[in-house]
Chains A and B, each alone.
Chain A
Amino acid sequence: MELRSSLTAGALLLVLSAPAWAQPAKAPANDDCLVCHAEPSTTRGSGQPVVVQPEKYAASVHGPLACVGCHQDLAKVTEFPHPEKLAKVSCAGCHDEATSKYDLGVHARARRADPASPAATCVDCHTAHEIKPAADPTSTTYKLNLAATCARCHADAAVISRRIEAGNVPATFRDSIHGQALEKAGLVVAPSCGDCHRTHDILLKVDRQSPVHRTNVPATCGTCHAGVKQAFGASIHGVALARSMPSAPSCHTCHTAHGIRRTELEGWQLGAVEECGTCHAEALRTYRDTFHGQVQALGFARIAKCADCHTSHDIHPTEDPRSSVSSGKLVATCRQCHPSATENVLGYDPHADKRDPVRSPHVYYTAQFMNVLLAGVFTFFGLHTTLWFWRGFREQKTPAAPKQEAREDDDRGAAE
């Protein structure tokens, strides 16, 4: 209150004392604005500061521009302090391409749907008076700073609980291979939020136009991972995805979207097997019946896993000669681990199914025989043991039958 009254007094003094000020239609110069706005004590009625730091503004990309260039309604104001409520600054006058893209995006849509939405506007990402070009390392939109800028809202618990199904995405992203490359290694070639989601025309992943729509993800990732994009595109998964088959996986199905980890990590490789199994449940079950799958299930990655035989991205149907498990290539595939493997490995079934007499007759009938053997032995001796225990227990509780006792006594007598 004190500040405000002193401000009011100062402004009154200006208006009353100087007839020169009364001259109309002369827009205030930046220095005029800074008379009040450079002063840290200048606040709104609510107490919110309205400071513009002169040197920061001067250093910003808009530094040469006049305040009234953006705050156009102040150009004609003659009374100071000017009303608190000003017209909303429109960036569109100069940045029509960016703003028209922004208008298509999720942030603008959210604001149109709910004017009270906290969805980001231009200034939330670019700041108002300290805007730097994205290429400037001090810019909020610089490659290495962008994730932190997005995180100001997207790591905010209130925002997450209102809008974001995926939870604290910035935290997940920070730990990912991309996040670490940006934050730890300072790699500007690593992707930040904007590289996948774009910056102004950000679209929901369910939007077919979105670069993160599942059918567009390979192209998006492929801007950097061009070789993988090529291989995946030709694979059974890539072809199915291009046909929009609902069950077809895209890059993020296996790699996740934000928590992407190094594929050399043991934990990732073990998890990938389970991931394949979410669709290929039968293949996972039969794999787990083999030595490979058993060792993998025990938590050791140095054993044949799905991708070691089928490859990660070049996956083709077994009948396809391009497939690493096609009859033409299988021996070479096995030789990766078993260097002396011969043509005979073709008869080995790494997914033999002991429940399937058609696919795996040898294994099926062997398992049947073993089951009968086990059931027979355990039934017979289970019964034998139970009866013996029961009889032995009774004999111990009650003295042995008199006849037997008598005979033992006789024996003992004879022995002595």
Chain B
Amino acid sequence: MTTAAPPSERHYIRFGRADRLLHAGLMTSFLGLAATGLPLLFSDMPWAATLVRVFGGFIIAGTLHRFFAIVMMAVFLIHVGRIGYRVFARGEYGLLWGPGSMVPQPRDFVELYQHTRWFLGLGPRPEFDRYTYWEKFDYWAVFWGMLVIGGSGFLLWFPAAFAKVLPGWVFNVALVVHGEEALLAVGFIFTVHFFNGHLRPGKFPMDLVIFTGVVSEDEMRQERSLELARLEQEGTLASRAAPPPTPQQIRTGYLVGGLAIGIGLILVGLILYSLIGSSH
């Protein structure tokens, strides 16, 4: 492997344009849903009333909530459709099993064990392939959340229609599930996902890969050495080579990512403040 560019300048594509666009849609709709939905969950807090007034009242906040719900559902369905197409039409069975798959596999449990040993200073840092166990958890948490929050949300959106076939208590349950699962999703994304993806030492303040799509060879060697070695061995590494992100892309990445992380941290701060406030 010899290229003209110095090692630090060499970059490889990690996320294609479609993946990045879908993530942007997911991120925007998630923030929108959180900001318009959390006030209901903490309706007894003054900040909640203020936030709803900022949106222009609960009718408008509710309409925005439904709009973002449609965006998120669309992102979800497009993603599932793409996966289906790639697997069934193009025969990319590697998406179902193996290092390029999001499906949890025995190696993930081994890596979790090794990673924990490293945390405790009992062993070396494990080497990872394309998807780590915590990334898979993020991914499947969204899948589960999409079904649970999305499903309960649709019940609550069209209560009269669903009540023609469902008993009334289902709507009591749907509200509890929608709220609690939302708290789980928001709490998880705005703390664990932010930390694992962006704020942890080594990544701080932000990992721009989801915005620029490319990762430097240095970073890939550090974070995903198994993938780098595998691609080299398969001989497909060169096909993934890409120019480094332009300063413009980096600026945009920091701006968009910073905004999202900022909004998320404010919301999670309000949640913590409310939970601590109400427990006394």
Contact = CB atoms under 8 A, between A and B. Distances in A.
A374 B180 contact: yes
A367 B168 contact: no
A389 B202 contact: no
Nearest to A354: B176
A49 B50 CA distance: 60
Interface string A364-389: 00110011011001100100110111
A377 B52 contact: no
Interface stretch (B73-81, B182-190, B241-249): B182-190
Residue among A293, A360, A393, A415 with max Cβ neighbours from chain B (10 Å): A415
B3 to A, nearest CB: 10
A347 B171 CA distance: 9
Given A366-B177, A367-B180, A377-B188, A389 B160 contact: no
A48 interface: no
A411 interface: yes
A260 interface: no
B40 A415 contact: no
Given A288-B44, A370-B181, A401-B124, A345 B201 contact: no
B43 interface: yes
Nearest to B194: A385
A294 B164 CA distance: 25
Contacts of B175: 290-291
Nearest to A361: B169
Contact of A408 (B2, B167, B183, B221): B221
Interface in B187-234: 187-188, 191-192, 195-196, 200-202, 217, 221-222, 225, 232
Residue among B39, B168, B200 with max Cβ neighbours from chain A (10 Å): B168
B156 interface: yes
A391 B118 contact: yes
Interface string A177-213: 0000000000000000000000000000000000000
Interface residues of B, number: 60
Given A291-B40, A389-B201, A392-B200, A404 B168 contact: no
Given A408-B221, A412-B221, A295 B58 contact: yes
B201 A393 contact: yes
A292 B41 CA distance: 12
B184 A348 contact: no
B176 A385 contact: no
A254 interface: no
- Main SS of the interface on chain B? helix
Contacts of B192: 381, 384-385
A345 B163 contact: yes
B119 A298 contact: no
Nearest to B192: A381
Given A347-B169, A348-B171, A373-B184, A295 B40 contact: yes
Given A388-B200, A389-B195, A294 B172 contact: no
A136 interface: no
A341 B160 contact: yes
Interface string A288-326: 101101111111101000000000000000000000000
A23 interface: no
A392 B164 contact: no
Contact of B58 (A300, A344, A347, A388): A300
Given A370-B181, A387-B120, A396 B202 contact: yes
19 contacts: A288-B43, A297-B43, A299-B49, A339-B160, A342-B163, A346-B168, A348-B168, A354-B176, A360-B172, A362-B173, A374-B180, A381-B188, A381-B192, A388-B200, A392-B202, A395-B202, A404-B124, A404-B125, A411-B225
Given A348-B163, A354-B176, A378-B184, 10 more contacts: A294-B43, A340-B161, A347-B168, A348-B171, A352-B169, A366-B176, A381-B188, A384-B134, A384-B192, A415-B7
